[in-house]
Amino acid sequence: MVPEIAIMGHPNEGKSSVLSTLAEDDSVRVSPTPGETTHCRSFPVIIDGREVLRFIDTPGFQNPSRVLSELRRLAGQGDGIIRQFREYARSIPELRDDCELLQPVERGAGIIYVVDGSRPVRNVDRDEMEILRLSGNPRMAVINCKDQREEYLQDWKEEFRKAFNANRVFSAHRATYAERILLLEALQSIDQDWHEVLGQVISAFKRDWAARNAATIDLIITMLSDCLTYRRLIDAGPEELERQDSERFLKAYNQAIAEKEEAIHQKIRSLYKHNIFKYQLPARSLLREELFNERTWQILGLSKKQLAIIGGLGGAAIGAGLDIAHAGLSMGLWATVGGAIGALGAILGGETASANATFMGLKLGGQQLQIGPSKSIDLLFILLNRSLLFYFHTINWAHGRRDYAKASGSEDRSPDQLGFTRNWSSARIKVCHEYFRALQQENDSARYKSESDLREILETVLMEISQRS
């Protein structure tokens, strides 16, 4: 049988938000107006096509003191007081909501009782807790501090001791994957009958998360190899070079890279079940400043020898070369920079490429202009760091959180904006270089080896990011 867990409590305390976060379901209705949830609604958790757990959203208690006195009255009359109460209350209009919300309790569902711990305990809360205690169902209290005030936490915890098997602080807005697992583990310990089945659910959750991470790594690696080997052919003769149309070529190249990146990020986002939330990567962040230090900017990743070759070319070639360099600097958006470097590094001609063309790849009088692939490993680090930043924000946006306007910008939980790879060991950086080189040289065996090393690194990195709480 699929275990059922009903999320219960006073109106507007954040029950639906907690459920939304726990079940990773952003379709759960959440609203600042009390009484948003009016009927019990099931939210199945499906893993590998199988329902492993069912959360039930319930309306808030309406008349807890009346319900409690009825339950006390029924207490002496044998088992099943919730069933007896519901039979009695069914025909009484003012008890309709209370009758509805106790429906899963009658079926034996486990209970998560949600309170907003940033306010003091009231008598009405004590009545609700006593109702749940009288039900005898396995139950746990969850403190969701709406405005992060903690001065009442101790009072709440003392109240919970009388009526609940366990209690935990869990934020509907900030809970991470690791905190969701911890909550389920705490739930597992409150009832012996649940131990095994919830143990299976937790294992399924962990397997599922590892599978999503593995899929994310596939996506990141596909994107890296696509972008780093990307070349764009544009029909162009010397006239066009002379017209200094390089900005147009660069734009097309950059746009293609940006679209590939965006498509992959969308796929990552849906792996973590976000339909609404979308993190906007910063257009210009410290991360980028770091990757493109002053020196890199000045020479755009070109060696002295390559620069000398630019200097040695005449006429239209210099015009095109310098103009592209200039575009890379002045456009300033960091997504364009990799393209600029690529463009400088590999503008190739057609069949009759000269010896020099292998360096700068620029053929005067050619029919086609090839932009890319990137000659600079900076593009790899930019794309990698941006993917990891996107992953970090995607997995840490709780599904119950709806203030999407705050999604981008200066988040208090942001990781070091200077980039994830900045503190990587030299062994890890070496793998990146090997991978980049293998792609450049189209060396399949080296690529296979370095790609599997990179995959292993990313497995560790994604798990580390997931475990932060």
Ligand X SMILES: Nc1nc2c(ncn2[C@@H]2O[C@H](COP(=O)(O)OP(=O)(O)OP(=O)(O)O)[C@@H](O)[C@H]2O)c(=O)[nH]1
Binding-site size for ligand X (CB under 6 A) equals 24
Amino acid at 201: V
| Position 173 contacts ligand X (CB under 6 A) | yes
Region from 34-42, 71-79, 159-167, 361-369 binding ligand X, contact rule CB under 6 A: 34-42
| Position 176 contacts ligand X (CB under 6 A) | no
Identity of the residue, 167 or 376, whose beta carbon is nearer to ligand X in the bound complex? 167
By residue count, the chain amounts to: 469
Token pair recorded at residue 465: 């990011």
Q: Which residue carries 């270089």 as its tokens?
A: 433
12 binds, among Mg ion, ligand X, none (CB under 5 to 8 A by kind): ligand X
Query: Residue 9 forms beta bridges with which residues?
Result: 114
Identity of the residue, 37 or 421, whose beta carbon is nearer to Mg ion in the bound complex? 37
Site for ligand X in 199-258 (CB under 6 A): none
**Least separation in angstroms between CB 30 and Mg ion:** 7
Residue from 172, 317, 341, 465 that binds ligand X (CB under 6 A)?
172
Residues 125, 115 contacting (CB under 8 angstroms): yes
Please compute Rg for the chain using Cα positions.
30
Token pair recorded at residue 462: 């994604």
Cα–Cα distances in Å, from 364 out to 244, 248, 317?
13, 18, 7
Interface mask toward ligand X for 43-72; x: CB under 6 A = ----------------xx------------
Q: Using DSSP bridges, classify how beta strands 41-47 and 110-115 pair: parallel, antiparallel or unpaired.
A: unpaired
Four-point Cα dihedral 404, 407, 408, 413, nearest 10: 160
Identity of the residue, 59 or 328, whose beta carbon is nearer to ligand X in the bound complex? 59
Residue from 2, 27, 34, 312 that binds ligand X (CB under 6 A)?
34
Gap between the Cα atoms of 196 and 40, Å rounded: 26
Q: Is the peptide bond before 373 cis (omega within 30 degrees of 0)?
A: yes
Residues 302, 343 contacting (CB under 8 angstroms): no
**Least separation in angstroms between CB 184 and Mg ion:** 21
Token pair recorded at residue 367: 């029919």
**Least separation in angstroms between CB 158 and ligand X:** 22
Identity of the residue, 14 or 349, whose beta carbon is nearer to ligand X in the bound complex? 14
Token pair recorded at residue 375: 């000659």
| Position 402 contacts ligand X (CB under 6 A) | yes
Residue from 6, 22, 23, 30 that binds ligand X (CB under 6 A)?
30
**Least separation in angstroms between CB 17 and ligand X:** 3
**Least separation in angstroms between CB 67 and ligand X:** 16
Region from 10-18, 105-113, 178-186, 190-198 binding ligand X, contact rule CB under 6 A: 10-18
Cα–Cα distances in Å, from 284 out to 55, 251, 263, 294, 335?
41, 17, 20, 15, 9
**Least separation in angstroms between CB 16 and ligand X:** 3
17 binds, among Mg ion, ligand X, none (CB under 5 to 8 A by kind): ligand X
Gap between the Cα atoms of 375 and 340, Å rounded: 10
| Position 37 contacts ligand X (CB under 6 A) | yes
Interface mask toward ligand X for 129-168; x: CB under 6 A = ---------------x-xx---------------------
Q: Using DSSP bridges, classify how beta strands 368-371 and 232-235 pair: parallel, antiparallel or unpaired.
A: antiparallel
Residues that bind Mg ion (CB under 5 A): 15-16, 36-37
Residue from 4, 8, 14, 241 that binds ligand X (CB under 6 A)?
14
Identity of the residue, 15 or 363, whose beta carbon is nearer to ligand X in the bound complex? 15
Gap between the Cα atoms of 402 and 173, Å rounded: 8
| Position 32 contacts ligand X (CB under 6 A) | yes
| Position 399 contacts ligand X (CB under 6 A) | no
Cα–Cα distances in Å, from 390 out to 120, 266, 375, 384, 400?
38, 10, 25, 10, 19
Q: Check residue 169 and give left, alpha or beta (phi > 0: left; psi -120 to 50: alpha).
A: beta
Q: Is the peptide bond before 282 cis (omega within 30 degrees of 0)?
A: no
Region from 31-39, 100-108, 263-271, 335-343 binding ligand X, contact rule CB under 6 A: 31-39
Q: Which residues are at the interface with ligand X (CB under 6 A)?
A: 9, 11-17, 30-32, 34-37, 59-60, 144, 146-147, 171-173, 402
